Structure 1
């Protein structure tokens, strides 16, 4: 088992829909126009004036422990590294799109610059490996994103997970490492 097992928690109650995380991701990872590694989807407004609410949902790779994208990759370009982060080796990718079709979260895309599959990697190569937090987490002004080692019971993410959390499409058996604190403001995930 890996020494670390990185995960992320999205608190939909704290998210304000500012898109700072998406902008930071795009800048940090040089994401080309018309594709994204991370997006905050906004649903609303809902309700009756003056009690209107907006729902916010993070859309990105959820870092499955049992990742269908990894098991279908014919070249080994899609893999899970020693810290539990789902990665893509662009040099090994042949652009077959098997991983894109296998992902039940629609979190992968073909990078129009490299021609390889691409997705969120928690900024592993350029930040996490150096001891920094992912760009999205470090920039969030509302504190809606918490990143950390799921194997460390004292980590900030494990402490935050003491609240009620859900995993996106958990019923599929993919074992995502993205946890969500559901919206309590009147809307919902």
Structure 2
């Protein structure tokens, strides 16, 4: 008897981050650093040289009490799809050290190919890439906590969030051994999504209707994967980078700020384009 083989669409892993739930605790940042062997400096307050794949930003509506409102915005790599996989960073890399995977939708970083030209850092509109100015160093004994599944990056290369790609590889191998054609949603989760105490970060396959992130975002492929959820938006969506990190908020000023509207537009004024 011949078995019927199912054909599944390519996976498109992404995140949905609910900014109305995020408390800015920083657990996602700590989990990301521990999971991915991110080096740290003695003075982590110097953000010009520190490395943080997941960075927390604080937004404000610019008003005074009692109308003041704040919002915390976690920012990982947005894993832009661009136009047909030509994301800004992939398009400018002369060493092909970064690439867009059509199998997963993840923008990878191959450290042994990178020679530190930093073109990708200039091309990234989200400032999600970091350059290693020093060889990583850990205090005595702390090297024992390093994850064996993630390579430690050397001085002179660029690094960034990988959506914990090593976890995808482990889940893919297990699914293959189990005879599954699709990776279960719970089998591949990022460190930040698991560590978030508020449940603000949801991770999964945007192309899989069974995954929670697809049900939350409701992406529309015919309209550039724009979200059909009225609470959802993407950072700098007007640039057409077609990112896979969606943010959720019921507050209008948060959604407008995420799309990089000008300051006077926040007050309701209309901006006219310059010719």
Residue of structure 1 in register with 2:125 after alignment:
104
Select the structure that is richer in helix: 2
- CA shift for structure 1 position 187: 5.4
Structure 1 residue 146 corresponds to structure 2 residue 202: yes
TM-score by length of 2: 0.63
- CA shift for structure 1 position 136: 0.3
Counterparts of 1:59 and 1:73, CA distance in 2: 22
CA RMSD of aligned residues (A): 2.0
Counterparts of 2:217 and 2:118, CA distance in 1: 34
In structure 2, the CA distance between the partners of 1:87 and 1:43, relative to structure 1 (3 Å rule), is same
**Structure 1 residue runs without a partner (length 5+):** none
1:35-74 per-position Cα deviation (integer Å, ceiling 9, x unaligned): 110111123596525x764311122210100211001111
Residue of structure 1 in register with 2:111 after alignment:
90
1:104-160 per-position Cα deviation (integer Å, ceiling 9, x unaligned): 1111011343121111111112x2332331000011011110111011012100111
Q: Is the 8 A contact 1:63 1:176 kept in 2?
A: yes
Q: Which has the higher contact order (CA 8 A, sep 6+)?
A: 1
- SS of match in other structure, 2:192: helix
Larger-gyration structure (1/2): 2
Structure 1 residue 68 corresponds to structure 2 residue 85: no
- SS of match in other structure, 1:48: coil
Q: 2:248 aligns with which of 163, 177, 181?
A: 181
Counterparts of 1:116 and 1:84, CA distance in 2: 23
- CA shift for structure 1 position 28: 0.6
Q: 1:29 aligns with which of 36, 39, 42?
A: 36
In structure 2, the CA distance between the partners of 1:116 and 1:183, relative to structure 1 (3 Å rule), is farther
Q: Mean Cα displacement is larger for which, 141-150 or 104-113? A: 104-113
Counterparts of 1:44 and 1:104, CA distance in 2: 21
How many residues align? The count is: 186
Which consecutive segments of 4 or more residues in structure 1 shift more than 4 A?
44-47
Q: Is the 8 A contact 1:14 1:143 kept in 2?
A: yes
**Structure 2 residue runs without a partner (length 5+):** 1-7, 41-49, 136-153, 172-186, 219-228, 258-275
TM-score by length of 1: 0.90
Structure 1 residue 48 corresponds to structure 2 residue 48: no
Residue of structure 2 in register with 1:4 after alignment:
11
